[in-house]
Amino acid sequence: MRTPIAGIRIPVISVDLSPAFLISSIVCVVGVYLIHRWQEKPKVADLLINTEAELRKVTWPTMEEVINSSLVVIVFVLFLGVFLAFADFLLARVVRVLLRV
C-alpha cells in the first residue's frame, strides 16, 4: 500500500490522503458542481418539472397485477428453457448420428 501524502490520515473515514483519493475527491466535487449548474438551467428545470407532472399521471400496477405478470414471465422463461434444452439435445443427437456416417 502506498504511503499517505505527508503521513496524513483522514480521521472520520479512516482513509489515507493519497494521490488517488485526492483525484477521486476532486473529480467527485467537480461532477457534483457541474450537475448542480446543469440543473439550474431553465430548460432542464422545466424538463424535470414536466417529468414530475407526467409521473403523477401514471397509473401504477397493483401488487396483484405485478405478481400475476411476474408469474407469467417466470412460467414462460421456464417453458422456453425446457424447450431449448430439448431442441439442443435433439439436434445434438441428430448431428452425432450424421457425423458417424
Express the helix, strand and coil content of the chain in percent, nearest 5 each. 75, 5, 20
Q: What is the pLDDT of residues 37-70, one digit of tens each?
A: 887 778 877 888 999 999 999 999 999 999 999 9
Judged against a pLDDT cut of 70, whether residue 101 lies above it is answered with no
Judged against a pLDDT cut of 90, whether residue 16 lies above it is answered with no
DSSP 40: T
Rounded mean pLDDT of 76-88? Answer: 98
The rounded distance, in Å, linking the Cα atoms of 1 and 15 is: 12
* Secondary structure class of 2 (helix, strand, coil): coil
Longest Cα–Cα distance in the chain: 76
